[in-house]
Amino acid sequence: MHNLIIGTGVSGATLANLIANVLNEKVLIIDKKEHIAGNCYDYRDDNGIMIHKYGSHIFHTSSEKVWKFVRQFADFNQYMHKVVAIIDGIHTTIPFNFNTLYDVFPQSMARRLEEKLLAKFDYNKKVPILEFQKQDDIDLKFLANYVYEKVFLHYTTKQWGVSPNDVDGAVTARVPVYLSKDDRYFQDKYQGIPLEGYTKLVENMLEHPNIEVRLNTDYKDLKGSFDRVFYTGAIDEYFDYKFGHLPYRSVNFKFEEYDREFYQKNSVVNYPCNYDFTRIHEFKYYLNDKSEKTVIAKEYSEFFELGKNERYYPIPNDENTVLYKKYLEEAKHLKNVYFLGRLGDYKYYDMDKAILRAIELFEEIV
């Protein structure tokens, strides 16, 4: 067997398909889970609703290369994701934008703030919240403190388990103040949900005579040798934690079913200041599934504990980066072993970035 790939998520599946198709080489791809597709795994429940088992996954990309690649394996709808948050009891838009401004403040006050924002920043600009706090004007300072308190502080603390000041700038930049009336959460050129789901998309990637898939399989139990090994699992686990454990945040989803058409007004509603969960997902919105019932998932963030829960998000900070680089240096001593994906690269990838990383790694090898 030429190639071993550990992990059947989008990173592993992308590599498997390219190697099998372009190089015409045999690939064994394995996963410890009982299903393919990693954390973007979805399935239709008894109500006919497509459930995202590991939380909402919205495909979005501005990369022509990535879009062309995934469209080989699935047709997508034209879903453009919007996120609603409850701020002071008001349903409004996240990220905080001009529409949010008029939702939460009296009109005269909102107009004054809008004029000052446009005098200070370019329209359509995204300003990271921690940068936005650096204001001299008394009104803009008030607004910055309001957004920080009501939108960012408590939500970030719940999601990451630390103060926003202890979270890497790449993470905080994902929740900007957006000087626009664009209510979409993403502004990428291509957005949507695969019409038959993510599991089917990955299944189509792996549908090739050169690809063998084995589930419920740990790579440590495999016998035989391979010309190349691609590892999308946790890099510290590969090296038996010889330098220590890389920290992760995990997520616990509490699924609930209701005898009504809809539970909430939007696919995702954030609760920055209320309750212990960060947000509620309602899945039937994504593919416009018709059912008299609905299924939601309340999302609770927690620290990853080995054997107890799943790794979701690497925690990027200086200390963890130093530890990751130790493992990266160790990996350089291995011949024809490659690490990729959120866990292999210890990086907060969206799906399109994970796919692009896999494509680029393949191109390097070729």
Identify the CA nearest to 87 among candidates 273, 298, 267, 277.
273
How confident is the model over 253-265, as pLDDT tens digits?
Answer: 999 999 999 999 9
pLDDT at 174: 63
How confident is the model over 38-55, as pLDDT tens digits?
Answer: 999 999 999 999 999 999
Q: Predicted confidence band at 171 (pLDDT cuts at 50, 70, 90)? A: low
| Domain boundaries defined on the chain | 3-77+196-246+314-365, 83-178
**CA gap 359, 366 in Å, rounded:** 11
pLDDT at 93: 95
pLDDT at 48: 98
**What is the residue whose two structure tokens read 């740990």?**
218
How confident is the model over 293-336, as pLDDT tens digits?
Answer: 999 999 999 999 999 999 999 998 889 999 999 999 999 999 99
**CA gap 210, 28 in Å, rounded:** 8
**CA gap 270, 278 in Å, rounded:** 6
Domain 3-77+196-246+314-365 in this protein, CATH class: alpha beta
pLDDT at 1 over 80: no
pLDDT at 61: 98
Q: Predicted confidence band at 173 (pLDDT cuts at 50, 70, 90)? A: low
Which of the two residues, 142 and 172, has the higher pLDDT score?
A: 142
Q: What is the value of pTM for the model shown?
A: 0.95
